[in-house]
Each structure stands twice: as C-alpha cells, then as structure tokens.
Amino acid sequence: MVRENEVRAAERTVAAPRAADAGLVFIGRIHTPWTSRMETPRQGRHDGPTCRIEVFEPWVEALDHVADFERIEVLYWLHQSRRDLVMQSPANDGTARGTFSLRSPARPNPIGTSIARLIRIEGPNVFVRGLDCLDGTPLLDLKPDRTLFTPIAPPQAGDFQTGDP
Ligand code: SAM
C-alpha cells in the first residue's frame, strides 16, 4: 500500500540524526505525469510514459555520449519521504519488516534508482521510460546501465567462483 507520511500499526521510528554527513548536489529535476504518491507506480516500466529528465548547468556537457546507451541508471532523491522508519508495514496489516529489506521510498537516505530506457536527448533534456517518481523529483546522477559493461580485469585468484559456498 502506498504511503504518504503516516506511521502505521507495528511500524517503528527512530530519532534520526541531523542529515549532514554528505553534501549532495541536485543536478537536475525529473518531470513525470505523477503529482501524487498514490498514483505513482511502485516500480517504473519500460512501456510506461515518457518522462523528461532536465539536467541543470554546468552539468549538461556531461551528457556527451550518454546517447550511446540504450538503458541508463537514474538516481534520484525521493524528497517527500520520511527518513525515520526502521520497521515498516508495506501492507498496513499489523506486521512490519526492516527498512533495508524493502525498496520503500521511506529510508534514512531516500535515494531511488531505476534502470530507464533511453528514448532521446535534446540539449539538457533526457527523455526516458521506466521511472516511478513524482513530478519535480530532484536528480542525483545518471550512469549507463551496469549490465552493459563487462569487467575489464580477468578473474583473479581469490575471486568468487561459481560453486563456492
Ligand atoms: N525505483 C526506485 C527504487 O527502487 O529505488 C523507487 C521505488 S519507490 C517504491 C517508488 C514509490 O516512491 C512511488 O510509488 C511513490 O509512492 C514514491 N515516490 C515517488 N517519488 C517520490 C518522491 N519524490 N518523494 C517521496 N516518495 C516518492
């Protein structure tokens, strides 16, 4: 069940420390059709609506060669999330589980990630399908989908091998 900011039965909050360990820079803004968390998909779909990622200056030049990739990983800041829940009740059924066992937007550092399908790039605007965030969500980073890369280094002694426990 999608949440706003309520604390449900069986959930537990903590007094979260002041959020100052890392300084992030919002490098853009994501434009989507969704203005309410209740309507926003829980995970994006590659056949979902085209969304526009607006990249701010001075980062537009960093889009060079992004169009070489068919899928990009989008990292964003789920800015309306509460950040103090340690136990959550996704179904709101009186049971709860730990925040780190969930992809819920409510987390100490509310970073969302999606692998999106690249449609096109026009100047500072990157058009993609596959997002699940509210209109106006701040953009943290863009990276090529990691599965499009093969490791450069050959396997080394001590690396995990298939069949290892
Ligand atoms: N795909 C990302 C992930 O797995 O890291 C996010 C998944 S999260 C379950 C997606 C949900 O977060 C949406 O259905 C919506 O309820 C909520 N959401 C989307 N944008 C948000 C925002 N800017 N602030 C707070 N909650 C947001």
Domain ranges, ordered by start, for the chain: 24-146
Q: In 24-110, at which residue ranges do the beta strands (DSSP E only) sit? A: 28-31, 50-55, 71-77, 85-88, 97-98
Q: Residue 120: enclosing H or E segment and its boundaries?
A: strand 111-122
Looking at every residue in the chain, the average pLDDT score rounds to 93
Distance 149 CA to ligand 1 centre (A): 27
The residue whose CA is least distant from atom 16 of ligand 1 is 37
150 — pLDDT class (breaks 50, 70, 90): confident
Nearest-CA residue for ligand 1 atom 11 is 42
Nearest atom, ligand 1, residue 131 CA: 1
Tokens of 126: 């990157």
What is the pLDDT confidence band of residue 160, given thresholds at 50, 70 and 90? confident
Note the pLDDT tens digit of each residue in 41-60: 999 999 999 999 999 999 99
Site to probe by mutation for ligand 1, drawn from 103, 132, 140 as the one with most ligand atoms within 8 Å of Cβ, is 132
Quote the CA–CA distance of 72 and 148 in Å, as a whole number.
Answer: 9
Ligand 1 nearest-atom number relative to CA 112: 5
* Neighbour-count burial of 41, counting CB atoms closer than 10 A to its CB (0-12 exposed, 13-18 middle, 19+ buried): middle
37, 53, 141: residue to mutate for ligand 1 pocket, most atoms within 8 A of CB: 37
Q: Does residue 151 register a pLDDT over 70?
A: no
According to the model, what pLDDT value does residue 18 have?
Answer: 77
CA of 105 to the centre of ligand 1 (A): 5
Indicate whether this model's pTM tops 0.75. yes
- Whether 13 has a pLDDT exceeding 70, the answer reads yes
Number of H helices, E strands in the chain: 0, 9
Residue bearing the CA closest to ligand 1, atom 20: 133
- Among 3.40.50.720, 2.40.30.70, 3.30.70.20, 3.30.70.270, name the CATH number for the domain at 24-146: 2.40.30.70
Residue 139: strand pairing partners: 28, 76
Q: Which two tokens stand for residue 6?
A: 């309520």
